[in-house]
Amino acid sequence: MPAATFPIVTDRRDATPHGAVLAQVALALGGFALGTGEFASMGLLPNVARDVHVTVPVAGHMISAYALGVVIGAPLLAVVFARAGRRAMLIRLMMFFAIANMLCAVASSYGLIVAARFFAGLPHGAYFGIASLVAASLVPADKRAQAVARMMLGLSSANIVGVPFATWVGQVAGWRAAFVVVAVLGLATALLCRLALHPIPAPDDASPLTELGALKRGQVWLTLGIAAIGFGGVFAVYSYITPMLTIVSGMSEAHVPIILSVIGMGMVAGSLFGGWLADRGVMRAIWITLVLNVVTLGLVALTAHDAVLVTINMFFVGFAALSMGPPLQTRLMDIAADAQALAASLNHSAFNLANALGAWLGGVAIAAGLGWTSTGPIGAMLAIGGLLIWFVAARTSAE
């Protein structure tokens, strides 16, 4: 199957008034804002739980609410606004994200917090989907996976700088202040996209019905299944990382942002590795990255009792997790034909189904008394599930 084309712009220079580098920075900043907002809430679960008088597993529902927002928002917005200009969509999505995070910061009850997290998740998948298409359109076809990986560096680098900083702000000034920080990042992204990109029209043949055509393709569903199941493992661990590190590894709460930075460094390296690997064979790259997830997640229970070993393994957990992103995103672009926006956005719906599934299964295991380290084996089993779906996709692919 030939690589998909991305008929978004006819002249790459026309789309970037101040150069491709600034355009890539603008797209990545959105990923940074979204990643900070998504993952910082996980590190602040104990703080939120104490403030609104619920248990940590119950507070984990705010993670699932965000994920549900992504799952619903990504396909809905991609289809409804199929004909909208790409730059305008990026700006509006980030403005909405900023407002939703401000609502979370001022929410007066746990129910309102959960609702605000749901609304904050709505623009997440659509932003990443459209940003992926714009990034891929600015480079030659054989470099598209690496362009997507550079855009996703914002998401992975959020775990080095944004998440630890927001977690620290939440610990020092209260968790609500952390969501104010995220809202500011969303507004900054909207401004930078306005400056770094010219108006980019949707393809001439774009329409809601055309986008919905992606749902008729079996390989699209299989690829989404790989993401929804195989990527869930990292969220089973990440969602409850703070209590695992403080209770099992014996670290102080002040050390948690450091470990989050270590995970972020692994994610940055993994994203670049995944892009490089995908440009040399997408299906093989997906298989390799799934195997890496099985191994690193399986080692969580064995390393959690030692602060040094768990720190090293957390780097590789982050590496393995984000290395899956560019291959899966590129695979969907390759098989979506003329339904690019929906397919690219659905990838992040699948990732956030993984988020909800991983957080839920991790919470179930903990509530059942299996301990904080049980999230590692749960995660490894989910990655194995992704491998099984990959096998079906590989056997049934027409390539």
pLDDT tens digit sequence for 241-291? 888 888 998 888 778 878 888 888 898 899 889 988 988 888 999 999 999
The band of 187, judged by pLDDT with boundaries at 50, 70 and 90, is very high
Upper half-sphere CA count for residue 43 (Cβ side, 13 Å): 33
331 CB-contact burial (10 Å; exposed 0-12 / middle 13-18 / buried 19+): buried
CB 32 within 8 A of CB 155: yes
Structure tokens at 323: 């290395």
Residues 6+ apart with CB under 8 A from 318: 156, 159, 234, 262, 263, 264, 265, 266, 267, 270
Homologous superfamily of 12-396: MFS general substrate transporter like domains (1.20.1250.20)
Structure tokens at 294: 């099985």
Task: Give Cα 393 to chain centroid, integer Å.
Answer: 22
CB 300 within 8 A of CB 237: yes
Select, from the ranges 13-17, 108-112, 187-191, the one with the highest average predicted confidence (pLDDT).
187-191
**Number of other CB atoms surrounding residue 221 within 10 Å:** 16
- 């990959």: which residue's tokens? 390
Structure tokens at 40: 């910082």
CA distance 133 to 78: 12
CA distance 106 to 76: 27
Residues 6+ apart with CB under 8 A from 284: 277
Task: Give Cα 294 to chain centroid, integer Å.
Answer: 19
Ranking 32-36, 80-84, 248-252 by mean pLDDT, the lowest is 80-84
CA distance 372 to 241: 8
CB 252 within 8 A of CB 246: yes
The amino acid occupying position 200 is I
Nearest to 208 by CA among 70, 349, 76, 72: 76
> Per residue in 105-132, is it b (16+ CB within 10 Å) or e — as a string?
bebeebeebbbbbbbbbbbbbbbbbbbb
The band of 17, judged by pLDDT with boundaries at 50, 70 and 90, is low
The band of 213, judged by pLDDT with boundaries at 50, 70 and 90, is low
Long-range contacts of 311-316, Cβ-Cβ distance < 8 Å, separation of 24 or more: 311/259, 311/262, 314/241, 314/259, 314/262, 314/263, 314/266, 315/262, 315/263, 315/265, 315/266, 316/266, 316/292
CA distance 352 to 181: 22
Domain boundaries, the chain: 12-396
- The share of the chain scoring above pLDDT 90, in percent, equals 26
Nearest to 348 by CA among 68, 126, 152: 126
- The share of the chain scoring above pLDDT 70, in percent, equals 89
The band of 210, judged by pLDDT with boundaries at 50, 70 and 90, is low
Say whether 91 sits in a helix, a strand or coil. helix
pTM of the predicted protein model: 0.74
**Number of other CB atoms surrounding residue 205 within 10 Å:** 10
CA distance 189 to 154: 11
